[in-house]
Amino acid sequence: MQIWVQARGPRTAALAALITGVIACASLSGCNSLYSEGAVAGAGIGGAAIAGAVTSNAAVATGIGLGAVAAAKTGVQYTQRVVHTNTQDQIASVAGPLAVGAVAPWKIVHSVPIEDDEKGRVTVSRTISSGVLECKEIVFSVDHDATQDRAAASAFYVASVCRDGNKWKWASAEPATPRWGSLQ
């Protein structure tokens, strides 16, 4: 009995690898680097496939590839900003109603697992202003539970929150650069 296996081109193999990576990423939490690098690699592969089908001109093909990679990076940065905004909004909603010195727990569970779910504590260190423009300075922690490989640890950050109608919103322009990098 003979079995015929049809050989597929490198594009098909690359697409299969990309899809496998996306499926693996969706089943894991905290796969931000895989998501970021996978999106850029996928854009490169897709850009090369499109360029190969559209033109044989190297300059045009390079432009298509660079455009695809730039679009992928922009998409990754956008989704990271959404995740960070959701985390900041959660912390602000817990901190806003607190009195100065009171401490409360906060927790975020991401609907798309490109970053780990997080938790910590938040306290109001002072009231910045009250009345029409009500703002508070907060100190929050990001707590990591002990695991078999590492001890429990907390990192602390300072930020500002302000009331926006019935909600409390993040008000710091650059809340914690070491924490979120240049992406807020």
- Predicted confidence at residue 44, as pLDDT, reads 57
Q: In this structure, are 117 and 149 located in the same domain?
A: yes
Q: Looking at the structure, do residues 90 and 76 belong to the same domain, yes or no?
A: no
Q: Which domain holds residue 20?
A: 10-83
Domain count, the chain: 2
Q: Residue 142 — pLDDT band, cuts 50, 70, 90?
A: very high
Across 57-80, b (16+ Cβ under 10 Å) vs e yields: eeeebeebbeebbeebeeebeebb
Domain's final residue, options 18, 50, 83: 83
Residue 42 placed within a domain: yes
Q: Tell me: do 76 and 103 sit in the same domain.
A: no
Q: What is the rounded distance in angstroms from the CA atom of residue 26 to the CA atom of residue 126? A: 41
Domain boundary residue, one of 65, 83, 101? 83
Distance CA(84)–CA(20), nearest Å, equals 26
0.75 surpassed by pTM? no
Using one digit for the tens of pLDDT, what is the confidence trace for 82-132? 788 888 999 999 999 999 999 999 999 888 777 788 999 999 999 998 888
Better-scored residue on pLDDT, 60 or 91: 91
> What's the angle, vertex CA 12, arms to CA 11 and CA 16, rounded to 5?
115
Q: Which tokens hold the place of 52? A: 């190969």
Specify whether 76 is located in the same domain as 126: no
Sequence-ordered list of residues with C-beta below 8 angstroms from that of 13, at least 6 positions apart, any chain: none
